[in-house]
Structure formats: C-alpha cells, structure tokens
Amino acid sequence: MFNPPRTLTNPIAPAMVDAARSVGLPSFKNQNGRMMEGDGGASIVDLNVQDGRRRSIFRAYTFPYMDRPNLTVLTQALVTRVTIEGKRATGVEILYEGKVHRVRAGREVILSLGALHTPKVLMQSGLGDQDELGSFAIPCVQHLPGVGRNFMNHCGFACIWEYQHPLPPRNSAVEATFFWKSNPKLVVPDLQTFQVEVPACSPESAAQFNPPQSSWTLFGSVVRPESRGQIHLTGPTPLHPIRIENNILSHPEDLKAAIACVELCREIGNSAPLRPFAKREVMPGNLKGPDLESFVRDALMSTAHQTCTAKMGRDSMSVVDGALKVFGIDNLRVADGSVMPRVTTGNTMAPCVIIGERAGEILKLEHKL
C-alpha cells in the first residue's frame, strides 16, 4: 500500500495512487523530478496550503512587506499602457479611481500582468505587430509580431464518479495526481490528471450528465499541447476587452492524446482500489468513436495555465531576450508566464515564481541593489 504523508486527511487520495499503480503506473513521494521527466507515475501532490486553505503567492511574498516605505500596492488600478520616449520606457499610465495617472519609473518598468494582459498592455503601448496595431490606429513604436502569438494553455476534461459514502473535501480539494504518456514512444509524459474531491465539469457536461454534488472527479489534461492560439485587441482603448483565440485541440495529435487520457482516467477510476469510494460512474461512461470525441470537446475547461504570449527566444517571433528585456525597447522587461517559449508540462505556478525570482536576481545585479 502507498503510505501518504501524515498531513493527508482525505482517504480517497492515497486510494487513487493505489488505483494508478494497479493499472501499471509507478508511485512516487511527490510529483516533481523523476515522475515528470521519466515515464510518469502517481503521487500525492505538493500543496501550498495553510490552515486548510491555499496560500497565494501574494500572501507569501508581498504581504509580509506591505509596511515598507518603498512598496506601494494599488488595488482596483488598471494599467493602460507603458509610457515610452523614443525607444525607452519611462513609466506606466494607470486608470485609478476614475482618473488617469502617470507613474514615472526611476530605473525600469517590469510588466507582470500574465499571459493575457501583458500582451494587451504591450500592444496598447505600440509594441506588437504593426499591421494589427495599425488596424486600431495605434502608432507602432516597435514592430514585434510575436506579441500575443504562441498562446498556450492546459485545458482539461472531467470524468466523474458518485461517492459511495460522501466525503468532505480537504485542503485544496486536490490531493493526488498522475502523469502518463498517451503514446509509449514519447520521451516524457504528455498527460496529467488531478483527482478533485468534488464534481468539477463544464456547463455542457453538467447539463448532459447532471453529476450529484456528492461526487469526485478525475480531471485529465493534455500538458504538452501542439495547438497554439493568439490574443487580439478588439479596440483602440484600454477599456476594450481582449479576444482570446484559444485554438484548443486544433492540432489532431492533441485530440488523440485527450481521448487516451479519458480512457486512462476511466480505467483508473473504475479499478479495485477506488471501488469503495464509487457508487457509480457518472460520466462519460463507455463512449466510443465520434461520441467520445464529442464528449471531450464539450467537457473542455481551462486550467488557468495561460502562457507564452511574449515568448523568450531569438527568432523573429520572440518578444524578450534571456534577461527578460523587451526587444528594441530600453528599460522594459516582462516577468511572468508569457515569456515561456512553451507551456511547462506541469502546473505553472512554481515556474512563474522562478521567473520572478530570476527577474529579482537580474535586477539586483544590474542595478547593484
């Protein structure tokens, strides 16, 4: 039997690890390192949890220093654009309490708005594809055709079972996971599934299958997708929303991998170690062919791992260099998940923290702080 950490409180999580092992997946002490870089496996997840609740990066990194005189945090402030003189970033413009304010940068501007709004602010500032900017009469300061391109995300699909005897969710309600390959010829796993201790599915799936509240989920996802999307402006002003062109499952290999993931989730979810926790399989059931493909498409949900829209690199579609500097503009860097050339195989929180840590090291060295 798998021996979970002492802090684990919901018995269905170690049962899922045992279930994965029963169909041939090895088990590990955690999901990092060998489990993600080898053939895959199952484990209890590492959680950033305090007193049973997920602890945010803001709470861990920023909140303890809120009383510092050199730190100002403005909530409900909208960054509208970077102010640029010639080819040099000089600060940012923000909309705050109904008024436009300009904040001048003493040394540099670092954008960390995420893969959806970093490209929006760059484009609103005149940094992007000159033809797209021109369609909204935004003067092009620097032609960077990769801004908003290369959009990647992990999107998943739920397989759900009704509890035999209801169990309350604990910690983050996600305490076990497995990685595996949709094709044994792959070098590393391209599938990840989390066990969720509550029903978690798309509105379309909910309308079709009506899962009971007392249910649990194997939420699978394709974590090395080939599909790419794009972020577009919809108007010339910062108040115009962006248009997200997901293109999820547009590449045929991604659909094949998604179907393989659903089949593996069903095999694990219906295996002997999880039978004491399952009254019945709610969804998808034994679907095949076009019906299974339709299920996957209807079940798709974002896992909020949006990345790669201002990618680091050296080709014509790259936006930042290895020091996170925006090409062609002085004193401007990006430090968030948008700089990833491709989405990481696992969750993106820790990689984004590392990007932030690396940005801090670069700034300390460059400015001798």
Return the closest-CA partner of residue 314 out of 323, 305, 302.
323
Q: Quickly count helices (H) and strands (E) in the chain.
A: 9, 18
CB under 8 Å to 35, separation ≥6 — which residues?
Answer: 28, 41, 43, 179
Task: Please pick, among 143, 165, 232, 305, the residue that the annotation labels catalytic.
Answer: 305
Largest CA distance in the chain: 67
CB atoms within 10 A of CB 140: 16
Q: Residues 215, 152: contact at Cβ < 8 Å?
A: no
Q: Parallel, antiparallel, or unpaired: how do β-strands 155-163 and 215-222 relate? A: antiparallel
Q: Please work out, in degrees rounded to the nearest 5, the angle formed at the alpha carbon of residue 175 by the alpha carbons of 59 and 351.
A: 50
- In the residue annotation, 305 being an active-site residue is answered as yes
d(CA 300, CA 154): 10
d(CA 47, CA 55): 9
Q: What residues act catalytically?
A: 305
